[in-house]
Each structure stands twice: as C-alpha cells, then as structure tokens.
Amino acid sequence: MAGKASKKQVQTNTRILGNLYKASVPILLLSLARALYSRGTGATYTGTMLKWMLINVPLLGCLYTVEVSGRPHVVVDANGSRKIVKEGLDLSQTDGLLQYLFDVIYLSLFANCGRILFNTNKLWYILWIVPCYAAYKLYGLKQQFFGGGSNNKKQESSKASSSAPAAETKSKRQMKREKKGENQVKYKYR
C-alpha cells in the first residue's frame, strides 16, 4: 500500500499530463490543418509536413521528456488492488528543469496559436527567448562561481580603503567598550 503523499502525487501528475494533452493535441492538429490548407503554390504535402514537424521539434521533445519523467506507473493486481510502481517526478514543482520544459511547451503552443489565427510562422521567433534566458542564467552562474574578474579587484581595493576610515571613525564610547572588553576576565565553562 502506497503512502498518502505518493497517491496524491500520482493523481496530480495524471491530472497535469491530462490537461497538457487536452490543450496541446487540438492546437497541434489545428496548426497542422492550417499549414496544409494554406500551403503556398508549388508546395507539396510532404514539404509542408516536414516544415511543420521541424518547427515543432522543441515542443514534441519537451512533451516527450515531461511524459517519460512524470507519468506514474500503476499496476492492478489480480484481486483488484492498485499498486504504485513508479510515481514519476513531481510535475507541480515551481522551479527546476521541468518548469523550463513547461515554458518551452507553452511558448510553442502560443506560436502554434499564432499559426492558426494569423497564418504566420513569425511568432516562432518568440522561442529565441529560451536560449537567451539560458545564456543569462549561465552568465549568472559564472559570476557566482568564478567571480567577476576585474570587478573583484575593484571591490577588494574599495573594501581596503573603506576599512581604514572605519577604524578612525570609532567614537570614544566604542573605544571604551573595546578596551573594557579586553580587560575583563573571561570564564571558561565546562
């Protein structure tokens, strides 16, 4: 018997995947129908299908990844009891790689809606946000782990110059406290 948390995660993952497919399958089919219906003169069905598939590779890849990693696997025994074999990753998390996959899926569906409504592929340029955002995040990680290079030297010199005036600006009261603290006997407890 699985725990309550596992059962809840299985239900949540199944609901999220169901809603994802309820939204994406009709949009993809309508987008394909629009592409085939409004193909240019001299364009073949195979060329139009190939172009449509090529444009939707990021969407289909992300859908596959979310399906494989998040789909729970439940087995029903001979006596009718359900047993959770694999609960899948938590698809309701708000951060991490799965959230980025959902972002790519939603951006691709938005571009497919643009294909349906306006008969243009220009909304696919919005997917350039994904590699730009990834570069921005990687740059932030680089700054975090490797430092800022020349900015580090500037910060060190400014820290050194700011620490010297701090010693001079101590008030008489602060100096008395420090002096009194040095003269006090320190007790050591066991």
Domain ranges of the chain: 4-148
Given this model, what pLDDT does residue 1 score?
A: 47
Given this model, what pLDDT does residue 174 score?
A: 83
Calculate what percentage of the chain has a pLDDT beyond 90: 43
Phi, psi (5° rounding) for residue 74? -115, 135
Residue among 101, 104, 123 at smallest CA distance from 112: 123
Cβ neighbours of residue 115 under 8 Å, at least 6 residues apart? 31, 34, 35, 121, 123
Position 149 pLDDT exceeds 80: no
Position 131 pLDDT exceeds 60: yes
pTM strictly above 0.85: no
Q: Length of the chain, please?
A: 190
Given this model, what pLDDT does residue 187 score?
A: 67
Given this model, what pLDDT does residue 44 score?
A: 84
Phi, psi (5° rounding) for residue 6? -65, -45
Position 162 pLDDT exceeds 60: no
Given this model, what pLDDT does residue 83 score?
A: 87
Q: What is the mean pLDDT of residues 79-108?
A: 90
Q: What is the mean pLDDT of residues 140-167?
A: 63
Higher-confidence position of 38 and 187: 38
Position 61 pLDDT exceeds 90: yes
Q: Report DSSP state, residue 40.
A: P
Question: Which segments of 42-115 are extended strands (E)?
Answer: 73-76, 82-86
Name the β-bridge partners of 76. Answer: 82
Higher-confidence position of 188 and 67: 67
Return the CA Rg of the chain.
30
Highest mean pLDDT among 35-49, 68-82, 169-183: 68-82
Calculate what percentage of the chain has a pLDDT beyond 70: 83
